[in-house]
A and B are shown apart, each in its own frame.
Chain A
Amino acid sequence: MTARVPGAAGSPQTLDMMVNMGPQHPATHGVFRMELAIDGERVVGLIPHIGYLHRGSEKLCEHEIYSQIITLFDRLDYVSNFNNELGLVLAVEKLMEIQVPERASYVRMILCELNRIASHLLFVGTFALDAGAMTPSLYTFRDREMIQALFEATSGARMMHNFFRVGGIKEDVADDFVVRVDRLLGELERGIDEVDGMLSFGEVLLARTKGVGVISGPDAIDWGMSGPCLRASNVPYDVRVDEPYCLYDRVEFGVPVGTQGDSWDRYYTRVVEMRESVKIVRQCLAQLQPGPIMAQLRRIARPPKGEVYAHAENPRGDFGVYIVSDGGERPYRLKVRPPSYCNLMPLRDLVVGSYIADAVVILGSLDIVLGEVDR
């Protein structure tokens, strides 16, 4: 992108220095490794290395029945587990043409939106850490903890829920679920406002993130970015709006977009998105009616022969699942379209030309989860 910055005057020959960042580096949010070629403070080249967390999930899926695959999907993007599960069950349900009971759909939406808030809270905290602010992470982790306590009371686990089933959900939510979620939303709103007021328009954060890692809308589309990273570049694409799944067509919410597509926009899009998620959950709670939670199905899901692609809006973007079924109880082939992998693609364009300290901020603003990138 940017032309190479020549060395200091009087030193006609300067060599680029190769700096190895990661895989064990706190700012890479997992086991991601970048080889940075730096000239002084400027990054002039970047070679990303992925695959340190490769577990062969897609191949493993070919050997597991669908109810077991859900446990593998929990472990793809390990900070938005419900959303991953939803992607899989949506695909299988689409292939089997199952009508999911309304209550199950609403519970799924509530849990997914809460998970989105939890994921974005984690992002806000770690992004602030990347930019050098320690405190916000403590606040966001406090709020995230409340959401996870609710998840524990609902699904029995804080992260690896294994709660969604093909055709519904595992068990009905607890009796005090609505009251509890309602109270939680109030606390979350307060927490989000607190962090937002403390961090978003702070001079230091603005100086670190405004105009850093700019990507234009068309470029972002070309690279296959999705989710908040794409919307920050002023492209209002959201699977929940454009191809509604579950019952997202029955709730009203806004799709926040950024203006410039820089790191700050990517950050602030997520902050606003959390508030929209709170709105969605409120509407879902109002519409939640008693009823069945599982479609009438045989115990082992056995989709017909054929192939299907279904996608859902994860906190990180467009999470797609492609299943080829040969009519058996195991998929013949399963492919995941991981949003953070696609969001990671333009990293070199974003980082090269900026300062080395900004590389950390840019990588943080993309909000990758290596469990999903490497699968």
Chain B
Amino acid sequence: MINSIKALRVTLRSMARKRVTAEYPKEHLPVDNRYMGFPALLWDFQRDEPFCTGCMVCVRYCPTQCMSAEMHDNPRFAEGDSHRRKIIQTFEINLNRCILCGICVDVCNFDAIEMSHEHELAGRGRNDQRVDLGELLKMGKKYQADTGWKQSKPNAPSPKEKEAATQKSEAGKPAPEPPSPEGASRAEGRSG
């Protein structure tokens, strides 16, 4: 009897409370900043190309082997506009296989891949969740715009910039040797 009254008191108190339920298709609860949605490739706005060089580290470390990547020689490196000798050519992630573990982000040496906030990807076709490079970059750009994502370390100078720097240093005092663009950061990995 006493317990029934106690329970009734709880009921009455709850009636006055604020509603906690969000009606899903109409309301979307905001995801947290650290939320790990599906992986996306990020865009280097300074160089106007993807960060990804296709080094395959994420592909090798993926526990479900949901990714595949191919690299090719970066034409913009030959032109001197970019510091990336190699650049991603094709990248495909089967998001059906992805388990959102974030290991690819952990192992990436180039800030190239990030867990976006994308999580609603229902489709009608069997292969709708196999996303290619364009799609991944679109997701990445959206993520960058939404969160104000910042690069962890600045880009290495491109050949043209290097040339300009040497000319400048020849004119003035000698500048310090710029770090080699590729491979040097391999041992360190992603900090944090």
Tell me the smallest distance from the CB of B190 to a CB of chain A, in Å.
Answer: 10
The verdict on B153 contacting chain A, using a C-beta distance below 8 Å, is no
By the criterion CB–CB under 8 Å, are A162 and B103 in contact?
Answer: yes
Determine if A194 is an interface residue (Cβ-Cβ < 8 Å).
yes
- Tell me if B's interface is mostly helix, strand, loop or mixed: loop
Query: What chain B residues lie within 8 Å of A194 (beta carbons)?
Result: 10
A-B contact pairs, 25 of them (CB 8 A): A65-B61, A67-B61, A67-B103, A68-B63, A68-B103, A71-B63, A71-B99, A71-B103, A72-B63, A135-B7, A154-B34, A155-B36, A156-B32, A156-B36, A156-B102, A157-B35, A160-B99, A160-B101, A162-B102, A162-B103, A170-B106, A171-B192, A172-B192, A174-B34, A198-B3
List residues of B (31-47) whose CB comes within 8 Å of A's CBs. Answer: 31-36
| Chain A CB within 8 A of B12 CB | no
How many angstroms from the CA of A160 to the CA of B6 in the assembled complex? 37
* B115 sits at the interface (CB 8 A): yes
Per the bound structure, the CA–CA distance linking A142 and B115 in Å amounts to 27
Chain A residues closer than 8 Å to B189, beta-carbon distance: 299
Give Cα A172–Cα B63 distance, bound, in whole angstroms.
23
Q: Give B34's nearest chain A residue, CB to CB.
A: A156
Contact status A71-B35, CB under 8 Å = no
Q: Provide the bound-state CA to CA distance between A35 and B102, in Å.
A: 42
Q: Does B100 contact A (CB under 8 A)?
A: yes
- Please give the number of chain B residues whose Cβ is less than 8 angstroms from any Cβ of chain A in the complex: 23
How far is it, in angstroms, between the C-alpha of A248 and the C-alpha of B189 when the chains are bound?
32
Interface residues on A, range: 20 to 34
B186 nearest in chain A by CB position: A299
Q: Per-position contact with A for B58-75: 1 when CB-CB < 8 Å, else 0?
A: 000101000000000000
A299 contacts B101, C-beta separation under 8 Å = no
| B61/A68 in contact, CB under 8 A | yes
* B139 / chain A contacts, CB cutoff of 8 Å: none
Q: Does A202 contact B (CB under 8 A)?
A: yes
The chain A residues found within 8 Å of chain B, CB to CB, are 64-65, 67-68, 71-72, 135, 142, 149, 152-157, 160, 162, 170-172, 174, 194, 197-198, 201-203, 299
Further contacts, 18 of them, CB under 8 A, given A152-B35, A162-B103, A203-B3: A68-B63, A68-B103, A71-B103, A149-B32, A152-B31, A153-B33, A153-B34, A155-B36, A156-B32, A156-B34, A157-B36, A162-B101, A174-B34, A194-B10, A201-B3, A202-B7, A299-B107, A299-B189
Chain B residue at minimum C-beta to C-beta distance from A194: B10
A65 to B189, CA, bound (A): 17
List of 5 A-B pairs having minimum Cβ-Cβ separation, nearest first = A156-B36, A68-B63, A162-B101, A156-B34, A153-B32
B121 within 8 A of A: no
- The distance from the CB of B65 to the nearest CB of chain A, in whole angstroms, is 11
Most buried by B among A153, A172, A299: A299
Whether B20 is near chain A, meaning CB under 8 Å from some CB there, is yes
Residues of chain A lying within 8 A (CB to CB) of residue B99: 71, 160
Q: Using a CB-CB cutoff of 8 Å, which residues 96-114 of chain B contact chain A? A: 99-103, 106-107
Complex formed: what's the CA distance from A332 to B192 in Å? 30
Q: CA–CA, A71 to B99, complex, Å? A: 8
State in angstroms the CA–CA spacing of A325 and B162 once bound together: 48
Residue of B nearest to A162 (CB): B101
How far apart are A330's CB and chain B's nearest CB, in angstroms? 12
Within 12-56 of B, Cβ neighbours of A (below 8 Å) are at: 20, 31-36
Residue among B7, B32, B192 with max Cβ neighbours from chain A (10 Å):
B32
